[in-house]
Amino acid sequence: MSLTGIHLLLTYKCNAECDHCFVWGSPFLEGTMTLEGIQAVYNGAEELGTVEHVYLEGGEPFLYYPVMLRAMEEARALGFECGIVTNGYWITALDDTVEWLRPIAEIGVMDLSISSDLFHGEEEPERQKVKVVEEVARQLGLPAGVITIEEPCVEETPGEKGEPIVGGSVRFRGRAVAKLVKGLPRRPWQELNECPYERLDDPKRVHIDYLGYVHLCQGLTIGNALEKPLAQVMSEYDPTSHPIVGPLLSGGPAALVKRYSLPHEEGYVEACHLCYVAREMLRPQFPEALGPGQMYGEGLE
């Protein structure tokens, strides 16, 4: 396996509670990764010898600005490229935004991704924020981009078999399952027989949260990088014997239903919807592989 990317979930805390959020980010969550924890993860990444870039994400990483900056500095000092994903809540007037971004420009990032969409706020203020950050990024020479999450919708165009399909770029995991599936067309559960988005057999990037959990996909874990070196977590990972990944590789989320005889509905919006619902049911049986609780909305709903 050759991991090239680490995505640090510095915190699950966020100033917003977006309906599409994979990780149930919320103002009501606490906790951030310590500098010591970040260093431990970086040491493990260095030992692997294949990691090229580190992304700082959340929750909202700008809520822990000094820690985020230091995490960037350390990453750059070790030769990793660095990226940030933020909802841009801190973007206000042009001059103020310059002050937020100047230290980041000085350290150097390969990517500053700002997620801006109608889930985050009103349309016109969002447009204004995008304009401000684009101007500041231009002034500072920062490679900034805007990610737009489109609201899920039923496409006019029929699918291959003539059935309606769900458009938009939302993936149905985390809070999106609780908030967005209602009224959307569904596919028979037996057809959801592969994982469409993750390289579970040979992951190229993992998410590591502030508790140290190493996630292949949000809430699907293979170990803890604060309890043992990341290189060891990766070398001990055996996809076929993992209780969740094994079935997913053999037949997608539908195989989880079959392997563990899970109760199910007749249809789900897409593979991730069934996968998330199945994993929620399996958490008590496989707590080591499915966590932490907040990835499943524990304590929030």
Q: What is the rounded distance in angstroms from the CA atom of residue 102 to the CA atom of residue 136?
A: 9
Q: Which stretch binds ligand SF4 (CB under 6 A): 10-18, 151-159, 269-277, 285-293?
A: 269-277
Site mask, ligand SF4, residues 43-82, x = CB under 6 A?
A: ----------------------------------------
Q: How far is the CB of 275 from ligand SF4 (least distance, A)?
A: 3
> Does 272 contact ligand SF4 by CB under 6 A?
yes
Q: What is the rounded distance in angstroms from the CA atom of residue 24 to the CA atom of residue 296?
A: 7
Single residue of 48, 275, 282, 289 touching ligand SF4 by CB under 6 A: 275
Structure tokens given for 64: 């822990």
Q: Which is nearer to ligand SF4, 234 or 269 (CB)?
A: 269
Contacting residues for 50 by C-beta, under 8 A, at least 6 apart = 2, 3, 4
Single residue of 144, 276, 295, 297 touching ligand SF4 by CB under 6 A: 276
Structure tokens given for 238: 């055996």
Q: Which is nearer to ligand SF4, 63 or 274 (CB)?
A: 274
Q: Interface residues for ligand SF4 in 227-266 (CB under 6 A)? A: 248, 253
Q: Which is nearer to ligand SF4, 133 or 274 (CB)?
A: 274
Q: Which is nearer to ligand SF4, 173 or 186 (CB)?
A: 173
Percentage helix, strand, coil for the chain under 3-state DSSP, each rounded to 5: 40, 20, 45
Instruction: Catalogue the E-assigned strands of the chain.
Output: 5-9, 53-57, 81-86, 111-115, 144-147, 153-158, 164-167, 187-188, 205-209, 213-217, 220-224, 267-268
Q: How far is the CB of 107 from ligand SF4 (least distance, A)?
A: 32
Q: Interface residues for ligand SF4 in 162-221 (CB under 6 A)? A: 173, 195, 197-198, 217, 220
Q: How far is the CB of 135 from ligand SF4 (least distance, A)?
A: 36
For 277-286, the CB contacts below 8 A with 24+ separation are 277/177, 278/253, 279/219, 279/220, 279/244, 282/243, 282/244, 282/256, 285/243, 285/260, 286/243, 286/244
Q: What is the rounded distance in angstroms from the CA atom of residue 29 to the CA atom of residue 25?
A: 7
Q: Which stretch binds ligand SF4 (CB under 6 A): 9-17, 58-66, 97-105, 271-279?
A: 271-279
Q: Which residues contribute to the site for ligand SF4 (CB under 6 A)?
A: 173, 195, 197-198, 217, 220, 248, 253, 271-272, 275-276
